[in-house]
Amino acid sequence: MEEGLQKKYIPMTETTYYTLLSVTVPRHGYAIMQYVSELTKGRIILGTGTLYTMVGRLVADGVIATVPNEEGKKTYLITDAGLELLEYETGRLKNQLTDGESVLGLGGASHE
């Protein structure tokens, strides 16, 4: 993983994490907002300003890319570098959760 990207994106904000999850398949901006809302059961609602500022930064850093589509809407897809970041962050979060459950004696209980 590129050290500069790791320093910039790890630890990852929740909005960045869920945005990257959403573009593991091609999605345009509104579809990203819908997917994140559905995936988090409404816990995270991305506003257009937040989303497009973040997407611009992710594209500039090569974490996601713009891909063509038939509808003429700007559509985004995670890059290999972005996927590497997302997988790294998922592992980091899993380790953090395991440690917390261990210390608190929760034994892997679900917290929805």
pTM of the model: 0.89
**Closest C-alpha to 64, from 80, 51, 48, 50:** 80
Q: Which residues, in sequence order, are bridge partners of residue 75?
A: 28, 67
Domain coordinates of the chain in residue numbers? 3-92
Instruction: Say what the pLDDT of residue 111 is.
Output: 53
- If pLDDT is split at 50, 70 and 90, which confidence band does 110 have? low
Distance CA 111, CA 12 (A): 21
Please give the CATH number for the structural domain made up of 3-92: 1.10.10.10
**What tokens does 95 get?**
């380790």
Beta bridge partners of 28: 75
Q: Are 14 and 89 in contact (CB under 8 A)?
A: no
